[in-house]
Amino acid sequence: MSPNGRYVIANGVNTYYEVHGEGEPLLLMHGGTDTIECFQEQTPALAKRFRVILPERRGHGRTADVEGPITYELMAQDTIAFMEALGIGAAHLVGWSDGAIVGMLVAMWRPDMVKKLVSIGGNFNVDGLTERFVAYVREATAETYYPPAVEMYKQTSPDGPEHWPVVFEKIMRMWLNQPQMTPQELAGIQAPTLVMCGQNDIMTLEHTVELFRALPNGQLCVLPGASHFLMQEKPALVNQLIIDFLTTE
């Protein structure tokens, strides 16, 4: 465990998290089947300006799985409970992929807890995913799934490597059926929101534009030539865009 790592019970989940830096609180919310290491290019830069808090959700990283399904709604409830357990009145939320979806739900349900929201590579409805990505999810198995994610799970999970197929099945089921937000619901997000994606992301560009247009206080940024892994492909640019958005009145 990192020297910055600790645990807190939130919504009944023994949640691992790390804290880096000082200042205004900023939650970094990782992607699905991922860990907080996905932000290794962002955390040091953001920690120079903010108190960066990185929780790992149920069944991810160093946080054990919990009996029952994994859903975006449950993870949003976990996130709200996590912020309450740490006494965070309100914070900036920066989420990538599944973390972006969870961030949208938190901003929708608890506007008092979200100062600004950055949604990176997040879809608001399962219908927005590209056919290519959906085909990949349908065909993937616990053995053939993205090797770096599988290896990181096996290295970090308190449930042990043998539990990976259980978590994998839960997350694949979620990806094929969720989220199910509507533009009308997105219109309830009052927080200023930066919608960021790669030009070649796992959701269609039309879907991302629809997300941006549904938000009353949205800004849109499409990174040319980038994929879903834009944070690793163009880290300096992504970091500067996040900092500029969060620090501009």
Domains and CATH numbers, the chain: 5-247 (3.40.50.1820)
| Residue 43 to residue 40: CA distance in whole angstroms | 6
pLDDT of residue 2: 82
pTM for this entry:
0.98
**String of DSSP letters for 160-173:** -GGGHHHHHHHHHH
- For the cut 90, the answer to whether the pLDDT of residue 127 exceeds it is yes
Collect all residues with Cβ–Cβ distance below 8 Å to 89 and sequence separation of at least 6. Answer: 112, 113
- For the cut 90, the answer to whether the pLDDT of residue 1 exceeds it is no
- For the cut 90, the answer to whether the pLDDT of residue 249 exceeds it is no
Per-residue pLDDT tens over the stretch 184-238: 999 999 999 999 999 999 999 999 999 999 999 999 999 999 999 999 999 999 9
| Residue 196 to residue 213: CA distance in whole angstroms | 13
**Average of per-residue pLDDT values in the chain:** 97
